Amino acid sequence: MTDAGRHPNITLHTLAEISGVTGYVGNFEVEIIKRAKYVDETACTSCGECAVACPVVFPDEFNEGLASRKAIHIPFPQAVPSSYLINMDECMGRGCSKCMDVCDKNCIDFNMSDGVITEKVGTIVVATGLEPYDPKAMDEYGYTRFENVVTSVEFERLVNAGGPTKGELVRPLDRKVPKSVGFVQCVGSRSRRRGGEHCSNICCMNTIKSTLILKEHYPDMEITVFYMDIRAFGKGFEDLYNRSRRLGVKYLRGLPGSVEELPNGSLQVAVENMATARVDFHELEMLVLALGINAPRGTRELQEMLGLQLTPDGFYLEAHPKLLPVDAATRGVFYAGCAEGPKDIKESVTQGTAAASRAVRLMHKGEIASEPITASVVTDLCNACGICARVCPYNAITVDVKKKIPAVVNTAACAGCGTCGAECRNNAIVLNHFTDRQINTQTDAMLANRPAEKIVVFACNWCSYAGADFAGVSRLSYPSNVRLIRTMCSGRVDESFIWRAFESGAPVVLVSGCHIGDCHYIDANKWTVKRVERIHKKMAKKGIRPERLQLSWISAAEGVRFARVMADMEDIRKTVTGEEIRDTIAILAEP
Amino acid sequence: MKTSVVNRSFTTAEIVPAIGVYVCQCGLNIGKTVDCKKVAEKAATLPGVALARDITYACSEPGQMEIVEDIHAHGLDRVVVASCSPRLHEATFRNMMKQAGLNPYLMEMANIREQCSWVHMETPGAATEKALDLVTMAINRARLLMPLTEEIVPVEKKTLVIGGGIAGIQAALDLADNDYQVTLVEKTGSIGGMMARLDKTFPTMDCSI
């Protein structure tokens, strides 16, 4: 921590958040909001006189509310930067000013305001961490009702030498050292009903560590761990587990069904004994809930800003689960730590180092080759209507509508989604590598033989095509008459592609892309929605059943959904008769 | 600002290409389900295809060598690799093209593993038929591909690290020690994150701060 705080190459912004990101790999522009601390952090020597003078007392978040702090406070004694700060929602302000009176350095300034910093960076490491599960939702364990039921995070503070009790484990109700302590595993993890379905990875080892600390401090303490499975899979982990058992810690398979408080403040825990199939009652003086790990708040906002993807349990999705474990699908963005999924300290450190090395690999030459998959304008055909410039999510196209100066693409800013090409009414925009002809020729090929049996699918590279790959990796079978055409974005799927498919005898067509809000090209897929709505209307007008064109959002993590959507498409295809297809071809052949 | 304007419609694709088609067995991953030989034989009859064969592991060093040798020996100007997902090996085969002296964008992949053999294991006949369709689609597309050149863009030698927990700190320190500028942004008043709140940490049982 201190190394990071004083490193000459590291600029530290605390109490700060990212409010906007624009640009692309190598050239991101980031906007950071730095909240006011009302204390000059460069001048503050953290002498602490201000906090002594401050009359406003609040629960201390760092100690999970088990201790108190003042409105002016330091987050924790070893904080980096080592500076006090004022929570203005709590402070009594100028009328009080007691802290100002005692501060020799004059570092307190009530007029300080939030600042906005803009920075240009080449790469971004997302290390947004975790949020422990909130056990209030799972009240059969009595967290909200009984004082002696604490969370694993509260427990950590209670046994911490720097914590409110200086490391003495006392139970909250009467501040006595408990003679018996129980641990409940998987609180908010591995449950289909509440919390996450995922294994939180660290709670087994955290509990084992806690039992060892307790046995070291209180050898006679009776410790019972209620668990589903003990997952001691890492290096040295099994050793610790065995050590804990050797010291007399009881491990019982089975999670409590109910917890009730006894008159003496102890807890009666009812657990089904899996071995005897009987319900046993355990009387314990204190109960610790081993909380699972969830993705932190703010994950979605950052995901939208950076065009990232999430797994169904809310963590960030890596570009490849084995081969690119710290890369995001967005080039130049990397993950480290629990942002990508629950992991322990060693793994987080490993990932931090890995992310750094991936970032260095990208930056060290000082230049990178950018993909040439960008839009180009065929100037002869452009009538300077300005639609392309309006739909471009990157503002990469300039057109002078008034002076009728044709469109020009700034290829450095163009990301290659192809929405401009799909929306252009004069075919004046060519998306390199995904031209109309290059796409239509694939439709022609797949519909050359027995078209009535085929399902035409347009899939975006980042989500739906990746979702199909995921279905493959998971060996999920779906109808074999599905044929995918890859585009970079669903925004590229031109109206003419759909008509071309129906003209050629396609029974059904699916356009698929990233979920709204997850689009890899900011929000290009909103134009996909509008376009499909427009085509649906035209289909209805022409007498073609609109259901034959479907729009579906499938993310890279939704292999199961991909397979299901394909099965649904097959169901729709079966309702399309040969006669209907012939009629459609005739209708579309009319001038 | 670099701009790109094309003053003509694309017509160059009408030149007769010499496409090499490689149907990868991927060991048994594809070979067990899809009749790769048959797909290659059919592909060889398609217009523009100069050569088509099945191959055990296209992505392996010997596999790539075989393709590069063919490019030189038969004067191939475009390549279709029918194998796994382009999301996995497109970069591999684009590099191979560069090595062979061809434009990397004249290579097209047909995904006959993730989107064919792995999802139609029960119906090898239908899988082979689908593979042939996918290869035909890729050949059609390969015929119309245009050479493209990558643009070189400057890179800011600076990293933004979002989050000052142990992972973010580690990333920031490693980058900073390598002489890159780092901006470390932390939501709370201090870096340290969850780890700063823990007592001893396993497996070494030492202090976390």
Same domain, A427 and A440: no
Say whether pLDDT at A278 is over 80. Answer: yes
Q: Where are the domains of chain B?
A: 19-143, 158-207
Instruction: Quickly state the pLDDT bin for A312 (edges 50, 70, 90).
Output: confident
Of A387, A408, A431, the one marking the end of a domain is A431
Percentage above 90 pLDDT, chain A: 87
Range name among A191-200, A260-269, A465-474, A561-570 with the lowest pLDDT average: A191-200
Query: What percent of chain A clears pLDDT 70, i.e. is strictly above it?
Result: 100
Shortest alpha-carbon distance between residue A260 and chain B (Å)? 29
Given this model, what pLDDT does residue A153 score?
A: 95
Please indicate, yes or no, whether residues A94 and A162 belong to a single structural domain of this protein: no
Question: Is residue A472 assigned to a domain?
Answer: yes
In a domain, A327, yes or no: no
The reply to whether residue A412 touches residue B174, judged by beta carbons under 8 angstroms, is no
Residue B59 has pLDDT above 50, yes or no: yes
Listed in sequence order, the DSSP H helices in A406-524 are 419-423, 436-446, 464-473, 495-503
pLDDT computed for residue B14 by the predictor:
53
In sequence order, which residues have a C-beta less than 8 Å from that of residue B26 and are 6 or more positions away? B57, B58, B83, B84, B113, B117
Mean pLDDT score of chain B: 91
* H or E segment and range at residue B143: helix B124-144
Which pLDDT value is given to residue B1?
A: 42
Check which CATH number belongs to the domain holding A150 and give it. 3.50.50.60
Q: What pLDDT is attached to residue B7?
A: 40
Average model confidence (pLDDT) for chain A? 94
Give mean pLDDT, residues A316-328. 88
pLDDT class of A277 with cuts at 50, 70, 90: confident
Which residues of A are less than 8 Å from B181 in CB distance? Answer: 9, 11
Domain that holds residue A168: 131-294
Cα nearest neighbour of B165 on chain A = A129
Nearest to B185 among A32, A376, A381 (CB): A32
State how far residue A406 is from chain B, nearest Cα, in angstroms. Answer: 10
- The pLDDT, as a whole number, for residue A195 is 85
Q: Shortest Cα distance from A516 to chain B (angstroms)?
A: 22
Query: What is the total count of domains within chain A?
Result: 4
Q: Among A290-294, A412-416, A419-423, A523-527, whose mean pLDDT is lowest?
A: A412-416
Choosing among A2, A6, A14, A362, which should be mutated to test the B contact, i.e. which has the most B CBs within 10 A?
Answer: A14
Cis peptide before B104 (omega within 30 of 0): no
CATH of the domain at A556: 3.40.50
In chain B, what residues touch A477 (CB-CB under 8 Å)?
Answer: 119-122
Q: What is the pLDDT of residue A305?
A: 87
- Whole-number Å distance between alpha carbons of A345 and A528: 43
Q: Give me the residues of A, 186-245, that contact B with CB < 8 A.
A: 205-206, 208-209, 212-213, 234-237, 239-240
pLDDT digits (tens, 9 = 90+) for B138-176: 999 999 999 999 888 899 999 999 999 999 999 999 999
Average pLDDT over residues A132-148: 92
The DSSP-derived string for A158-215 is HH-TTSTTTT----TTT-PPPSEEEEEEEETSS-SSSS-SS--SSHHHHHHHHHHHHH
What pLDDT does residue A320 have? 79
Residue A515: which of A568, A552, A557 has the closest Cα?
Answer: A552
Give the number of A-B residue pairs with CB atoms closer than 8 Å. Answer: 398
Distance from CA of B134 to the nearest CA of A (A): 7
Q: Which phi and psi angles does A118 have, rounded to 5°?
A: -115, 135
Residues of A in contact with B143 (CB under 8 A): 441
Residues A401 and A459 in one domain: no
Check A240 against B185: CB less than 8 A apart.
no
pLDDT of residue B209: 60
Q: Are B167 and A513 in contact (CB under 8 A)?
A: no
A589 shares contact with chain B (CB less than 8 Å): no
Question: Do A193 and A109 fall into the same domain?
Answer: no
Residue B2: what pLDDT? 44
Pairwise CA distance, residues B75 & A205, whole Å: 61
Across the interface, whether the CB atoms of B170 and A353 are under 8 A apart is answered yes
Residue A229 in contact with residue A201, Cβ under 8 Å?
A: no
pLDDT tens digits along A61-109: 999 999 999 999 999 999 999 999 999 999 998 899 999 999 999 999 9
CATH code of the domain containing A390: 3.30.70.20
A424 and A472 fall within a common domain: no
One domain for residues A110 and A235: no
Check whether residue A162 and residue A60 sit in a common domain.
no
Q: Which residue in chain A is spatially nearest to B9 when comparing CA positions? A: A378
- A contacts of B185 (beta carbons < 8 Å): 13, 16-18, 32
DSSP code string of B29-82: TTTTTS-HHHHHHHHHTSTTEEEEEEES-TTSHHHHHHHHHHHHHHT--EEEEE
Q: Do A349 and B167 touch (CB under 8 A)?
A: yes
Q: Residue A366 corresponds to which tokens in the numbers above?
A: 């000082």
Interfacial A residues in 539-568 facing B (CB < 8 Å) = 563
Contact residues, chain A, for B173 at CB < 8 Å: 3-4, 7, 10, 356
B-contacting residues in A 247-276 (Cβ below 8 Å): none
Q: What is the pLDDT of residue A310?
A: 87
pTM, rounded to two decimals: 0.80
| Residue A424 shares a structural domain with residue A469 | no
**Prior bond of A81 cis (ω within 30°):** yes
Helix (H) or strand (E) holding A68: strand A68-70
A81, exposed or middle or buried, with CB in 10 Å at 0-12, 13-18, 19+? Answer: buried
A450 & A425 share domain: no
Among chain A residues, CA nearest to B124: A480
Asked if residue A349 belongs to a domain, the reply is no
User: Of the candidates A294, A311, A326, which is a domain's last residue?
Assistant: A294
For residue B13, the model assigns a pLDDT of 47
CA distance A490 to A514: 8
Closest residue to B137, CB basis, from A32, A442, A477: A442
Q: CA-CA distance, A74 to A56, in Å (whole number)?
A: 14
Do A427 and A534 lie in a common domain? no
- Helices and strands (DSSP H and E) totals, chain A: 16, 29
The answer for A 159-188 residues in CB contact with B (under 8 A) is: 159-163, 167
Mean pLDDT of A186-198: 90
Contact predicate B43/B134, CB 8 Å: no
Identify which of A317, A320, A318 has the alpha carbon closest to the alpha carbon of residue A473: A320
**Quick one: which of A301, A304, A334 has its CA closest to A519?**
A304
**pLDDT bucket at B118, cuts 50 / 70 / 90:** very high
Q: Tell me, rounded to whole angstroms, the distance of Cα A365 from its chain centroid.
A: 30
Of A399-413, A458-472, A527-541, where does mean pLDDT reach its minimum? A399-413
B19-143: which CATH architecture? 3-Layer(aba) Sandwich (3.40)
**What pLDDT score was predicted for residue B192?**
93
Helix then strand then coil, in percent of chain B rounded to 5, is 40, 20, 40
**Same domain assignment for residues A118 and A182:** no
| Residue A321 is assigned to a structural domain of this protein | no
Evaluate if residue B10 carries a pLDDT over 80.
no
What are the structure tokens assigned to A469, written together? Answer: 């790959």
Note whether A389 and A407 are within 8 A (CB): yes
Question: What pLDDT sits at residue B208?
Answer: 64
pLDDT at B109 over 50: yes
Tell me which of A218-232, A429-443, A517-531, B62-76 is least confident.
A517-531
What's the pLDDT at A323? 82
- pLDDT exceeds 90 at position A341: yes
Check whether B4 has a pLDDT greater than 50: no
The answer as to whether A546 is a domain residue is yes
Same domain for A141 and A289, yes or no, is yes
Compute the distance between CA of residue A8 and CA of residue A375 in angstroms, rounded to an integer: 42
Q: Quick check: is A40 in a domain?
A: yes
A328 assigned to some structural domain: no
Name B73's Cβ contacts closer than 8 Å, sequence gap at least 6.
none
The complex's ipTM works out to 0.83
Instruction: Verify whether the Cβ–Cβ distance B183 to A121 is below 8 Å.
Output: yes
Q: Could you tell me how many residues make up chain B?
A: 209
User: Residue range A150-154: average pLDDT?
Assistant: 96
Q: Answer yes or no: is A343 within a domain.
A: no
